[in-house]
Structure 1
Amino acid sequence: MKWLYERAHTHRDKLFLNELTYGDVLDLTIATAKRLAPHLRGESRIALWAENSVSMAIHVFALSALGIETVLLNTNLTEREVSEQMISTGVSTLLMSEKMAQVLRTQKGTYDIEIIDVSTYEYSHSQVDRQYLCFSTCIDTDFKAISPMHIDGDVEDSTDCESNLNWNPCDETVFCIINTSATTGKFKSVPVRWSQIEAHVKASAKVLGVEEEDNWLVVLPMFHVSGLSIILRTLYNGTRATIREKFSEQVVLDALKTEEVTIVSLVPTVLQRIVERIQAPTLRAILLGGEFIPMPLLQECVRRNLPVYKTYGMSETFAQSTTFNVQNYPHKLASVGYPLEGVTIEIRNPDEEGVGEVWISSPMLMKGYLNKESIKGAFNTDDIGYVDEDGFLYLLNRRKDIIISGGENIYPKEVEDVLYGMDGILECAVIPVSDPKWGQVPVLCVVTTHTEKDIVDYLLNRLAKYKVPKRIVYYDTLPKNGMGKILRQELINKVERA
């Protein structure tokens, strides 16, 4: 947390999170750590379950200053899944917002569960199997009644604070733990260390640039690397972030129009719904990633001169690994970008066309999953793709999504990209379904008013026959997670059961 400590000295009166300055956030972080400390004696790792808010960010900062690793939990999880992830990551204390505490009570079917409000100074930690704590997302400005800061030296012990706060953790200290794939299968836990974060924010600043008046809109979830990385980039750069609880089309459009936002991170399903309505005179970058991006959407962004930076990354690499400005490289729209500084992309086991497994090595890469073997060298992303002569990476599909039908490889992304070129296709996903003759066949899940014949005729004119979906299933909307990603496994399960 040295950046927070330093920025509060160099940028004390500059806005940082919403209407709070860097000085405000440091004061609130110290006060929050003071209030958390009595409840967390002896804890080295706890779980945090909360929606986006300034208060959530401050609690993450405070836990780090206390030397406690934070397991960030997806707000879409059920109480059963929360419990499973707590057990798996070895934590016994759950800190949550008031909203998530209400969810917990409802799902447990009891209001008798003891949930301690950390705003009290009372020592509450007892010898129980599980401790539930909650905090308010409303900022209590009275928090600021704390002992003076010591900016120019080490933090001094104080009778006002029951724990020595660590503002300069070593590079290998774990800041947080992010669980991946929790909504579609067995999750894996990714410890995020300060060395990864520092490498990321420096490389990201070089490719995106930094301007004094930057204000990054945060609508992607902060329990995920996509939202959390924005907060940490902002902190490192000494700029500003505007946090909103969650995405809605109007929230994004209003913020872009009235909040002097200069940068926003979005996923394609979100941008597709608002691209024609964006009015943002101060906007200088739209970081777009999180899933495969339809070519017609990118072409529309280029036509509208929107400053889209296409990006590719994952929790394991702490967000961005490749990025590029589509306006500068309109002939590279199918690419996911050029590697950030320090990132090496390797294609292993390529076929005759150079398509193979995408492996990444970089200082942003995790050391290994929690309680699993350490990574030695490069990391297998499980993506399939190739690198062109200029070093730009192209992805064809996730390996797990490839459909093998009668010995032929079918890349769902290729079919989806073609289909998005058809007017009136709002959403689509091509999924594998078991077939006794072919092993698997492609099935199209789609949101549109086009008839099946229209769709099939359109695809047959553009794709080999074996790539054309054998069935079409219509939806009013496709299921998505909190990031806006289409839940393919849920679609597979529904279609297989039908």
Structure 2
Amino acid sequence: MKWLKKQAELYPQKAFLNDFTFEQINQRVDKTARHLAPLVAKKTRVALLSENSVEMAVVLFALLGLSKEILLLNTHLTTYELTEQVNELEIDRVFNSDLLKEKMTDSISFSDILATKAEPVSLSVNFPDEKIAVIMNTSATTGKFKSVPITWGMISNHVKASQKMLGLYEDDNWLIILPMFHVSGLSIIMRSLYNATSATIFDKFDKNQLLEVVNSGKINMISLVPTILTRIADKLNGNNLRLILLGGEFIPQPLIQKCQELALPVYKTYGMTESFSQSVTFNILDFPDKTISVGRPLPGIKIEIRNPDLSGVGEIWLKSPMLMTAYLGQKPYGAAFETGDIGYLDRDGFLYLLNRRKDIIISGGENIYPKEIEDLVYSLPEIKECAVVAKTDAKWGQVPILFVSGQISKEKLENFLTEKLAKYKRPQTIIFMDELPKNASGKILRKELKA
């Protein structure tokens, strides 16, 4: 772990993870690696299952230093699902936190690691760009999961490009509440490690705890998904924050407008596991007339709009050294990556995301973009969450169905939509729910929404 060794030498007493310094984390990683060595001696690929914690980061760094490929497992999955993913990649060594020991009974807990007899070991420092560091399975909002190999080259290119785009300050402290088994959480760890800045790890989202550390000035950077920011925006002290990285799903425009009014430094971002987090970003306060866009590409990323219609709307493709070359077990995809999203670029190079291609509804030959309807519904103050999905229809092929959470009558919502939308775009059915289903990263699971 070249970056960790370097920062431990240059900034030994500087806080890295929570109250632990770079020197302390480096020492813990070395110790843990000595205990891990006999457990992984003949293993190329292992799995790691843990809630957010400093201990998880230490075990992760130790395994990386031992040159292992690490499958990061989603803590929200069932034992059956976890076993399926581990077996798919032919992994027979799983490490997990003590709290999650019961999820996989054949696994080795963090306590078990330290109880294993230590062996002398020399940790790897430099890795070739093509060496796989971690493996993440996609959210699988549709169909079977795909395994994304995150290489050292992807990580290195990302942290450098992110630094150029987001800037760097000596007192930066990034709060991690998003899962570290997800690219949104792991990328923060890697940025902090590369930049020699601090990160504060929360094991879960706690509204009061989050507001306390933000408003006290202890942290100045945070990554959030819209559902969380919606709950806390009006209680945040924007003067203490230099950056709120916001992504993970479509962002309701009323939330952006609210953040503008509160002068919150929100950076809208667009990215994916396949690109190791963000590919596009911008500060809404710097470009108030561009807030419906998702921003401009990071250095080194090129965006192409392929097969555009007459208005310039087409398929979004990416070219970048931060992108994977292929899913595990599949053929390389070529020089550019098809995101599966639909959008367009303006003259200034800002990207506008209209919809996931797979979510577009075709009704009587007309394209219906769920995001257009969702943005409209979100403009109502009574709405908490909403999602529009397709339902098969004998006459029209498909029709839109609206799922909504909020304190509003069905009659008021129907009247509003009748006034604002063309008839073919209006949801044929409105279904009220207490809360819409989401995955670990806060993204609404459309496949679970059925009329």
TM class by smaller structure: over 0.9
How far residue 114 of structure 1 moved from its aligned partner, in angstroms, is 7.4
Match of 1:121 in 2: 116
Query: Relative to 1, partners in 2 of residues 1:115 and 1:34: Cα closer, same or farther, differing over 3 Å?
Result: closer
How far residue 459 of structure 1 moved from its aligned partner, in angstroms, is 1.8
Whole-Å separation in 2 of the counterparts to 1:215 and 1:37: 32
Of 174-183 and 26-35, deviating more is 174-183
How far residue 280 of structure 1 moved from its aligned partner, in angstroms, is 5.1
Whole-Å separation in 1 of the counterparts to 2:119 and 2:93: 21
Match of 1:362 in 2: 320
8 A contact 1:38–1:162 mirrored in 2: no
TM alignment of 1:225-236, pairs within 5 A: 225-236=183-194
**Structure 1 counterpart of 2:405, from 438, 442, 447:** 447
TM alignment of 1:338-487, pairs within 5 A: 338-487=296-445
Aligned residues: 449
- 1:373 counterpart SS class: coil
Whole-Å separation in 2 of the counterparts to 1:412 and 1:288: 20
How far residue 469 of structure 1 moved from its aligned partner, in angstroms, is 0.5
One-letter identity of the residue aligned with 2:250: F
What is the CA deviation profile of residues 20-73 of structure 1, one whole-angstrom value per residue up to 9, with x for unaligned ones?
000001100010100111111100110111110000011110001001110001
One-letter identity of the residue aligned with 2:166: L
How far residue 161 of structure 1 moved from its aligned partner, in angstroms, is 4.1
One-letter identity of the residue aligned with 2:80: R
One-letter identity of the residue aligned with 1:176: V
What is the CA deviation profile of residues 87-133 of structure 1, one whole-angstrom value per residue up to 9, with x for unaligned ones?
1122111111111112335xxxxxxx6756111124xxxxxxxxxxx
Q: TM-score when scaled to structure 2?
A: 0.97
One-letter identity of the residue aligned with 2:18: N
TM alignment of 1:97-108, pairs within 5 A: 97-105=97-105
1:251 aligns with 2:209: yes
Whole-Å separation in 1 of the counterparts to 2:366 and 2:201: 46
Larger gyration radius, structure 1 or structure 2: 1
Query: Relative to 1, partners in 2 of residues 1:437 and 1:104: Cα closer, same or farther, differing over 3 Å?
Result: same
- 1:222 counterpart SS class: coil
Runs of 4+ with >4 A deviation: 113-116
How far residue 258 of structure 1 moved from its aligned partner, in angstroms, is 3.2
Whole-Å separation in 2 of the counterparts to 1:213 and 1:257: 16
- 1:432 counterpart SS class: strand
Of 457-466 and 328-337, deviating more is 457-466
CA-based RMSD: 1.4
- 2:115 counterpart SS class: coil
Whole-Å separation in 2 of the counterparts to 1:114 and 1:212: 39
Query: Relative to 1, partners in 2 of residues 1:114 and 1:214: Cα closer, same or farther, differing over 3 Å?
Result: closer
How far residue 457 of structure 1 moved from its aligned partner, in angstroms, is 1.7
1:22 aligns with 2:17: no
How far residue 479 of structure 1 moved from its aligned partner, in angstroms, is 1.2
8 A contact 1:184–1:490 mirrored in 2: no
Structure 2 residue ranges without an equivalent (≥5):
none
TM alignment of 1:29-178, pairs within 5 A: 29-105=29-105, 115=108, 117-122=112-117, 161-178=119-136
1:209 aligns with 2:167: yes
Of 28-37 and 86-95, deviating more is 86-95
TM alignment of 1:290-329, pairs within 5 A: 290-329=248-287
Whole-Å separation in 1 of the counterparts to 2:36 and 2:247: 35
Query: Relative to 1, partners in 2 of residues 1:2 and 1:373: Cα closer, same or farther, differing over 3 Å?
Result: same
What is the CA deviation profile of residues 274-321 of structure 1, one whole-angstrom value per residue up to 9, with x for unaligned ones?
111113542110000010000000000001000000000000001111
Query: Relative to 1, partners in 2 of residues 1:434 and 1:197: Cα closer, same or farther, differing over 3 Å?
Result: same
One-letter identity of the residue aligned with 1:72: L
Match of 1:181 in 2: 139
Whole-Å separation in 2 of the counterparts to 1:337 and 1:262: 21
One-letter identity of the residue aligned with 1:167: V
How far residue 247 of structure 1 moved from its aligned partner, in angstroms, is 1.5
One-letter identity of the residue aligned with 1:41: A
Whole-Å separation in 2 of the counterparts to 1:114 and 1:192: 23
Whole-Å separation in 1 of the counterparts to 2:72 and 2:314: 33
What is the CA deviation profile of residues 427-461 of structure 1, one whole-angstrom value per residue up to 9, with x for unaligned ones?
11111111111111101100122222211221222
What is the CA deviation profile of residues 161-197 of structure 1, one whole-angstrom value per residue up to 9, with x for unaligned ones?
4333101112211110011024653100011111111
